[in-house]
Amino acid sequence: MKVLVTGYKGQLGYDIVNECKKRGIDAVGVDVEEMDITDAAIVKKVINEGDYDAVIHCAAWTAVDKAEDEVALCTKVNVDGTRNIAVICEQLDIPMMYFSTDYVFNGEGETPWNEYDKREPLSVYGDTKCEGEKIVEKLAKHFIIRISWVFGYNGNNFVKTMRKLASDRDELNVVNDQFGSPTYTYDLAKLSVDMIDTDKYGTYHATNEGVCTWYEFAQEIFRLSNIDIKVNPVTSDAFPAKAHRPKNSRMNKNELDKNGFSRLPDWKDALRRYIEIIEEN
């Protein structure tokens, strides 16, 4: 099997390429230098010449607040770029895997979102990812995987930010009214590669098990890192942002269960393994 992975320099793309190679799968990772997804001609050339069996599309505009000011650019990457890939995958009749987000929902309530709940994004970023979903779900062979609160080895994330901030501060304020599931890209990559080698197409939710707030996430980061710092729980109002942040990012895993895929480990276990790795390197 030969797979093209976009967004190779990001957290998830990096781990997916590594996971493929561990299993003897021929994975080719590309980023904007090798294949600018917003250039339809380049996308067509790279995918056609590569003779791929599937495309795993990790590349995306993820600067949530900046998207509110850069609507056209965010749309170009998340919508037009996704469409460019989808068009070629359809022509070649090969599967496309697309990573989406909890931001496609309105983030209200306390009930975990199921895979087919109404999409009602409240930010430019969420809207563009929703439009990307609508493009991909028209393909006969597609996987849409919604993820949230991602952390991985290759890139910046909340875990690294908290540890860095703690190095020169005595206390931190962290939001305690947004709920979600931290998700380790190493675990997510294993599931993604399991999935791409099947014909169990559809929309899935894939996060590490368990739910917490950002405040609780930060507390566990510092505990596992043996960092002594005071962490104050605050409301979202303490950090005004241009883009709306969902307070409810809980997502159920009905489709994973129904199709026989294993759920990801608990987020605390994932975080422990992650911190051990970053402290070793």
pLDDT at 47 over 90: yes
pLDDT at 32 over 90: yes
pTM, two decimals, is 0.96
The one catalytic residue among 52, 103, 125, 184:
125
Spatial CB neighbours of 222, under 8 Å, sequence gap ≥ 6? 162, 166, 228, 229, 231
Spatial CB neighbours of 48, under 8 Å, sequence gap ≥ 6? 88, 92
**CATH number, domain 2-156+181-210+250-265:** 3.40.50.720
> How far does Cα 95 stand from its chain's mean position?
19
Residue 98 bears catalytic tag: no
**Residue holding tokens 């929309």?**
203
Could you give the CA distance from residue 166 to residue 105 in angstroms, rounded to a whole number?
Answer: 32
Q: Please give the backbone phi and psi of residue 184, each rounded to the nearest 5 degrees, phi first.
A: -85, 125
- pLDDT > 90 in the chain, percent: 99
Could you give the CA distance from residue 85 to residue 81 in angstroms, rounded to a whole number?
Answer: 7
Buried b (16+ CB within 10 A) or exposed e, 1-15: eebbbbbbebbbbbb
What confidence score (pLDDT) does residue 202 get? 98
107, 244 contact by CB (below 8 A)? yes
What confidence score (pLDDT) does residue 155 get? 87
Q: Averaged over 244-258, what is the pLDDT?
A: 97
What confidence score (pLDDT) does residue 82 get? 98
Q: Averaged over 200-204, what is the pLDDT?
A: 98
pLDDT at 225 over 90: yes
User: How confident is the prediction for the chain on average, in pLDDT?
Assistant: 97
What confidence score (pLDDT) does residue 281 get? 80
DSSP string, the chain: -EEEEE-TTSHHHHHHHHHHHHTT-EEEEE-TTT--TT-HHHHHHHHHHHT-SEEEE------HHHHHH-HHHHHIIIIIHHHHHHHHHHHHT--EEEEEEGGGS---SSSPBPTTSPP---SHHHHHHHHHHHHHTTSSSEEEEEE-SEE-SSS--HHHHHHHHHTS-SEEEEE-S-EE--EEHHHHHHHHHHHHTS---EEEE--EES-EEHHHHHHHHHHHTT---EEEEE-GGGS--SSPPPSB--B--HHHHHTTPPPEEEHHHHHHHHHHHHHH-
